[in-house]
Structure 1
Amino acid sequence: MAAKLALARMTHTVERTFDKVRRGPARDDPIIDCYGGYTTATQIIIRGRVLAKARAISAEGPQSIWRNFTDFLNLFYTDELRDVVITTTDGQARTVTDEEGFFFLTLDATAPNIPQIVEIQAEGAAETHHVPILSSHDASFGVISDIDDTLLRTGAFSLLRNLWTSSTGNVHTREIFPDAIKLLQQFAEHDACFFYVSSSPWNLYDYLQAIFLRTGVPRGPFFLRDLGISDTQFITGTHGDHKTDAIEKVLLANPYLAFTLVGDTGQHDPHIYADIVVRHAGRINQVILRRPSDADLPDEVTKDIARIRDAGTPVHLDFDYRKLLDDVAVE
């Protein structure tokens, strides 16, 4: 542990020094890379990041693997701006970006007085940013879904396949499973609200949003991961820690809702979901899991599924969600 802490502090110092040299005074017109807003029982929460220059998602359709690869790398080459003041244009709320450029802005708001749009601005920026607010107050239940190999074909259970698929595809070619679209749209028809949890970095937010928009996945706030380096941690927490923390935030933000958890058996979803089910008795209506391959389920996955069922929560498990449409609860 001491060695990891020392490595984190050393790497953090090097990164900060490099950033000072590389960035210089590039703060004339900061760009807000906004991740949208969502509601809690009493607040609106807006998240985002401030950058020195905008990043673009390719508007072209099929293109070469090399072009896809370089476009993907460019999503990670960012100049983040720290200590930038972010305010709502009406002056109701204010915050400051952290050392990685991230900000977290909260506004007091309760139903039915939830605006559809909130305008925010970065200090020194020429333009205001219009943030769509995704409210869960009128939903009849909630859906928390994993992304990789649950909705988006990735091969996340294989590191090499995951890297190849992610870096050589683009927003026009990446595949959302048709059965996942059908499942989520069925939930949407019954007034569900949606939350998407992934260990993918925030650099991929616009990339993922474009894929979801193209394929008709219902809108919902994303909970992605900061891969930055701090003075106390090298990179960030584990895959399981991040997902667990994100799900806990969603449950806390929506104490009046019960939830469906959607995931797959290829990574750690069954274990994470089993812990959530046990810890939050009565909050989880059902768990839906995709089997990404026909390989036998590992013993630990089988045990986690049993834990969920022993807690009284139904588990639906199959290779294709369409086979489950008549069985899953829609409330």
Structure 2
Amino acid sequence: MSLPLTRLLRKLLHVAAKPMRHAQGKDGYVIHAYRGYGSHSEAFLMGRIFRQPGSRSQLAPGAGRDLMDVGRRMLRWGKSGVEVEVALGDNRTTAITDRDGYFSVHLPLDEPLEHQGQWHTARITACPPKQPPVEGEAQVYLPPISTRLGVISDIDDTVMYTGVANKLKMLYRLFIESAERRTAFPGVAALYQALHEGDDGQQQRPLLYVSRGPWSIYEMLEVFFQHNRIPVGPILFLREWGLTLQRPLPRRSEDHKQALIEKMLGLYDEMQFLLIGDSGQHDPEVYAEVVRRYPGRICAIYIRQIGDSDSRKAELDRLGEELAALGCVMLLSTDSLDMAHHAHANGYIDAASVEMVRAEIEHQLADEPA
């Protein structure tokens, strides 16, 4: 077996074993919660309850232990009908897991929280039938009350070169090539950090990412963000891919994205939003529809162009003219620096951040093989 393939398999094995390492080898019921989000009046959180086999192995960390943990992961299963209680400060609510073990809660925040920071710890208690309670935690993001701008960004072919639409290329770029050089578009990390911090460095704006992939790649995407030093944002919004008689196919990605944006517009009703996507899918059309439906709420749209045909370029030009007439700029570019310049010109980021984006791009391009 070639060295690159061996390295790929080892790293895939290590990532696949990650949830089991967090479970610390215990058997029985385990809570796997995702990051939550909300405003200062309500919060949202989801996760999954598993039943899994334990591990009493004394193997040292390494490929052997990872292989055992992957085996445990394959043998675990989501548990339906489990009551879950979620508490954020003195605010509490309950939910019941669905047939795949997922739970989703909407928690009104009637009682004030202890501190005014952006990240808060939710306590989670699962109560399996005839079993002792299981406890866990999740981080919940609440933006500062003063925040007036949020960012919603696509991931696939907007932040990373190749998304879940081509899993083999994504895995190759993520685990064999240098992650910093190859998986993220040049300048993305500095640009997104600047948008998060704002022109005064103190904004802590919500940065919400959406992917057309399933929840099963959540850990994979977290590794991608860590490798590329991209601000992690409060959460990753992924699609439900569970097959049911009522919904035999996954929800269309454009429907998923539009529903998410509209939910965020309702949740953060005093904010405007900056939308970032790519030209390869339906992002421009989805974002344009949001502008039509919610006048004045979308301050700008940044679209990363990825090898468009002449006919597609003409379509985008016509769409851009329509949006301009509605008071929303749609910037089309292959370059993160163009987006940074526009963001600075409109007061979203400061001049120093533009230079940081420029420097990051130059560093990444200089580091590319000839």
Structure 1-normalised TM-score?
Answer: 0.77
**Structure 2 residue aligned with 1:46:** 45
Distance 1:146 1:114, change over 3 A: farther
Asked whether the equivalents of residues 171 and 210 of structure 1 are also in contact (C-alpha less than 8 Å), the reply is no
Alignment of 1:125-164 (within 5 A): 127-138=134-145, 139-154=147-162, 159=165, 162-164=166-168
Q: Report the counterpart of residue 207 of structure 2 in structure 1.
A: 194
Q: CA deviation at 1:296?
A: 2.9
Task: Point out where structure 2 has 5 or more consecutive residues left out of the alignment.
Answer: 1-26, 54-60, 349-370
CA distance in 1, matches of 2:316, 2:74: 33
Aligned to 2:187: 179
Greater displacement, 119-128 / 321-330: 119-128
Q: Is the 8 A contact 2:127 2:134 kept in 1?
A: no
Question: Does structure 1 retain, via aligned residues, the 8 Å contact 2:35–2:138?
Answer: yes
Residue 113 of structure 1 is matched in structure 2 by 113
Partner residue in 2 for 1:290:
304
For residue 47 of structure 1, report the CA deviation from its aligned partner.
1.0
Shift of 1:264: 0.7
Which of residues 80, 83, 101 is equivalent to 1:82? 80
Aligned residues of 1:41 and 1:110 also touching (Cα < 8 A): no
Q: Secondary structure at the match of 1:282?
A: coil
- Note if 1:327 corresponds to 2:370: no
State the shift of 1:273 in Å: 0.3
Deviation readout 1:302-323 (Å, 9 max, x if unpaired): 4333332221101111111113
Compared CA separation, residues 29 and 170, structure 1 to 2 (3 A): farther
1:203 aligns with 2:212: no
- Give the one of 260, 277, 287 matched to 1:246: 260
Q: How much has 1:131 moved relative to structure 2? A: 1.0
- Deviation of 1:146 after TM superposition, in Å, equals 0.3
- 1:4-36 deviations in whole A, cap 9, x for unaligned? xxxxxxxxxxxxxxxxxxxxxxxx722222111
Separation (CA, whole Å) in 2 of partners of 1:291 and 1:141: 24
- Alpha-carbon distance in structure 2 between the residues aligned to 1:123 and 1:288: 45
- Give yes or no for contact 2:208–2:236 (8 Å, CA) kept in 1: yes
Partners of 1:91 and 1:30 in 2: CA distance: 24
Residue type at the aligned position of 2:266? L
* Equivalent AA in structure 2 for residue 203 of structure 1: S
SS of 2:157's equivalent in the other structure is: coil
Q: Is contact 1:117–1:132 with CA below 8 Å preserved after alignment? A: yes
- Moved >6 Å (runs of 4+): 74-78
Quote how far apart the aligned CAs of 1:170 are. 4.3
2:161 maps to amino acid: R
Report SS of the residue matched to 2:92. Answer: coil
Q: 1:316 to 1:109 in 2, by over 3 A?
A: same
SS of the residue corresponding to residue 216 of structure 1 reads: coil
DSSP-derived class of the 1:197 partner = strand
User: What secondary structure, in the 3-state scheme, does the structure 1 residue paired with 2:219 have?
Assistant: helix
* Helix, strand or coil at the partner of 1:233: coil
Q: Which has the higher helix share?
A: 2
Which residue is 1:34 aligned to? 33
In 2: Cα distance, 1:291 partner to 1:252 partner = 29
- Using the TM superposition, give the Cα deviation of residue 75 of structure 1 relative to its aligned residue in structure 2, in angstroms: 8.5
| 1:285 counterpart SS class | strand
* CA distance, structure 1, for counterparts of residue 75 and residue 217 of structure 2: 12
Q: Which has the larger radius of gyration?
A: 2
TM-score, normalization by structure 2: 0.69
Checking the alignment, whether the CA contact within 8 Å between 1:258 and 1:284 is kept in structure 2 is yes
Please give the secondary structure, in 2, of the residue aligned with 1:305: helix
Q: Give the superposition deviation at 1:244.
A: 0.8
Residue by residue, what CA displacement relative to the aligned partner does 1:192-220 show, whole Å, maximum 9, x if unpaired?
21111111111111211222133222222
Contact 2:44 2:106 in 1 (8 A): yes
Q: Which structure would you say has the larger RCO, counting Cα contacts within 8 Å and 6 or more residues apart? A: 1
Matches within 5 A, 1:258-269: 258-269=272-283
